[in-house]
Structures are given as C-alpha cells and as structure tokens.
C-alpha cells in the first residue's frame, strides 16, 4: 500500500481530536448483536452456584434459568450456548446421558423455546460433559475412536434438533462428523437447523476453567492432542474449514479466540463464511482476575472484543456478554 500524504499537510491526530470524530471514523464497532452468552446448567432446584475458577459466572438449575435469560432478552443478545454440569453418577464410559431426552440440555432447550422463543439456542455436540473419562469421544483400545464416536454424535445432534435447538455446534473435533450430522438432519427433515462447526479448535491450555465448570477437569487423565489441533499450525486450519464447509457447515468457529486472531483473519479472508470466535474460559479469567485486582480497568473487555471484530469475526462467544451488552446500552 502506498502511503498518501506527508506532515504537516497531513496530521493524523486531527481525526482523533474528540470523541465525536473518533466515532465518525471508527472502522470497527461492537453491538449486542455480536454477542453469544455461554450458560452453565446443573441438576436440582433453586440453585445458583458460583464457579471458583470463573469469577462472576454461575451454574443455574433449570428452574432458575429464567433469571439469566431475562437479562439476555433485556439486552437483546441474539443467542445463548448451553453447557451442562452433569452429576457424577450420570457419567459413564460412553457418555450415555448425552442421549437422554430428559438430560439437562434437552430440558433447557424446551424451557427456552417455550418461555423465550426470541432467543437463539446453540448446543455443543461432544461427549465430554457426559463421559467418566472427560474426553469428547469414546475410548476403544485406549484410543478415542473417531467413527464409533461420530455415530453417537449424530444421535446427540438429532436429539438436540428434535428438542428445538437452532444451532448445532460440534466441538468434538472428530473427522467427518459434520457431513454425517448434516446428512442425518436432512434425512429427518430438520432443514433449518444450522451447523456451526468448531472447525478450528486447538488443544489449548486455556480451557481449564471451563472444564472445571462442566465438571470434566478432575476426570480427564490425558490431554486432547490426538483430536484437537496442534497450536503450532495454521494451514491445517484451512484444511479443517474447507472440509467442514464442504460437508455442510453454515458457519465455523475459531477457538480459543484472543490468541488466535491471525487464524480468524485468514479464514475470513479466504472462505467468506461467517466466522465466530470463542473468548474461552482461560482468556475470560485472565481479564476478569486483572479487573477484580484493579490491575486493568473495565474497558479492557471492550478492547478485547473489538479485536475480534477487527480480525473479521461475525460474533463472539464470551462470558462477558451481559456485562458488555449492558454497557453498550448506556453509551
């Protein structure tokens, strides 16, 4: 790019001299429409429980879900992502509870569809909240078995669609699952159900607090490196995205977010599909902790979210969604 102009004819500070002109020329902005709120649900009644590793984030029993959903509605957040904290007694080797039509996810979908029909619902397809070993797939001969897992994931996705889930989000990183799920959805006539593939999901160290929140952390004995991506790679991300689009994904996710902005930008430029970014639990913790200790100020949150927009993300999954939507409304 050729740089046009020179000092003193050109003084770039003229465009920064007051808030109004900065607003006028701003290249990227964020609104409530760009936010997705992850919500954790648990068994029981009348329970709103703090999560030690995620200050400010709670687990809700289903009867208490409306408390948070009212906020989502009030601040016009378009979609929520529901994650279950499954009781130990319900976990097994095969993640059987994932296919129970009365599990926490199914109950949550039914409640949201009935009481908050204007809110979009996104659900993870993966077995980790349900398995006794904390892995996203099932273990056969000491390995996470791709094809056996995909068979279960297809059933999990169909069940979510049947309950009314709007956006099915496979986060398991098995090969070929998008194609199989899309085919099954078509066959069962769920033509309007979107598939958001966690296409680029790295084997990240930043998922720790989330694993604590869904209760899989203490279960997990090894890492997830045989199925999630190696964080040294970027061209591999293109192969993942290309395959998933071909197999029928409507949108793709990059995860984690803040430390993978380079990947978001390249994928957006190359594929022109909606790219969502996940500001994951470890990234949330770093910012939240620094704000609570008064080392960073509140505006560091907006700055972190605008970075996703600048990189080309269409929307951001963030545990800050309500705080930020609230703040944006006051501006």
Active-site residue list: 201, 255
Applying CB under 6 A, what is the total number of residues that bind ligand PBG? 11
Decide if residue 128 touches ligand PBG (CB under 6 A): yes
* C-beta closer to ligand PBG: residue 211 or 288: 211
C-alpha torsion 50→54→55→57, nearest 10: -60
Taking CB under 6 A as the criterion, which residues in 222-241 touch ligand PBG?
Answer: 224
Q: Which of 262, 274, 269, 261 has its CA nearest to residue 303?
A: 261
User: What is the smallest separation between the CB atom of 197 and ligand PBG, expressed in angstroms?
Assistant: 12
Is there a contact between 129 and 164 (Cβ–Cβ < 8 Å)? no
Name the one range near ligand PBG by CB under 6 A: 120-128, 236-244, 302-310, 321-329. Answer: 120-128
Residues 6+ apart with CB under 8 A from 113: 121, 163, 164
**Binding to ligand PBG by residue 97, rule CB under 6 A?**
no
Which of 211, 268, 288, 309: binder of ligand PBG (CB under 6 A)? 211
Choice from 60, 75, 202, 210 touching ligand PBG (CB under 6 A) = 210
Q: How far is the CB of 234 from ligand PBG (least distance, A)?
A: 19
Residue from 136, 166, 240, 244 in contact with ligand PBG (CB under 6 A)? 136
Residue linked to tokens 């009481």: 115
Q: Which two tokens stand for residue 280?
A: 């994951």
Q: For residues 276 and 80, give the distance between their C-alpha atoms in angstroms, rounded to a whole number.
A: 13
Our CB check for ligand PBG shows the closer of 251 and 280 to be 280
Nearest partner of 252 among 271, 236, 279, judged by Cα: 271
Strand pairing partners for 195? 168
Q: How far apart are CA 189 and CA 157, in angstroms?
A: 13
Smallest distance from ligand PBG to CB 331, Å:
27
Question: Cα angle at 234 between 274 and 79, to 5 degrees?
Answer: 30
Residues in touch with ligand PBG (CB under 6 A): 124, 126, 128, 136, 171, 207, 210-211, 224, 280-281
């Amino acid at each position: 790019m050729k740089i046009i102009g020179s000092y003193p004819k050109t003084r770039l500070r003229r465009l920064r001299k007051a808030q109004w002109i900065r607003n006028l020329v701003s290249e990227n902005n964020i609104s409530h429409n760009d936010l997705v709120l992850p919500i954790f649900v648990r068994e029981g009644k009348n329970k709103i429980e703090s999560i030690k590793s995620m200050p400010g984030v709670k687990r809700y029993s289903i009867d208490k879900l409306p408390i948070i959903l009212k906020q989502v509605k009030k601040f016009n957040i378009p979609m929520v992502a529901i994650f279950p904290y499954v009781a130990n007694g319900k976990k097994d080797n095969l993640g059987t509870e994932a296919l129970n039509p009365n599990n926490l996810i199914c109950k949550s979908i039914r409640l949201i569809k009935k009481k908050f029909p204007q809110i979009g619902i996104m659900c993870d397809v993966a077995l980790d909240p349900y398995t006794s070993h904390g892995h996203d797939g099932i273990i056969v001969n000491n390995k996470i078995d791709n094809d056996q897992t995909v068979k279960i994931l297809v059933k999990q996705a169909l069940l979510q669609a049947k309950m009314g889930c709007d956006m099915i989000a496979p986060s398991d990183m098995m090969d070929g699952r998008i194609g199989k799920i899309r085919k099954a959805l078509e066959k069962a006539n769920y033509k309007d159900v979107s598939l958001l593939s966690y296409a680029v999901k790295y084997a990240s160290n930043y998922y720790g607090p989330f694993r604590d929140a869904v209760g899989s952390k203490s279960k997990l004995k090894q890492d997830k490196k045989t199925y999630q991506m190696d964080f040294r790679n970027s061209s591999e991300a293109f192969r993942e995205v290309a395959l998933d689009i071909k197999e029928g994904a409507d949108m793709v996710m990059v995860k984690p977010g803040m430390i993978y902005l380079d990947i978001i930008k390249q994928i957006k430029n190359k594929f022109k599909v909606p790219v969502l970014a996940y500001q994951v639990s470890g990234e949330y913790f770093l910012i939240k902790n620094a704000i609570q200790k008064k080392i960073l100020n509140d505006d560091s949150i907006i700055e972190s979210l605008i970075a996703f927009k600048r990189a080309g993300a269409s929307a951001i999954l963030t545990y800050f969604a309500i705080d930020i939507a609230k703040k944006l409304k006051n501006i």
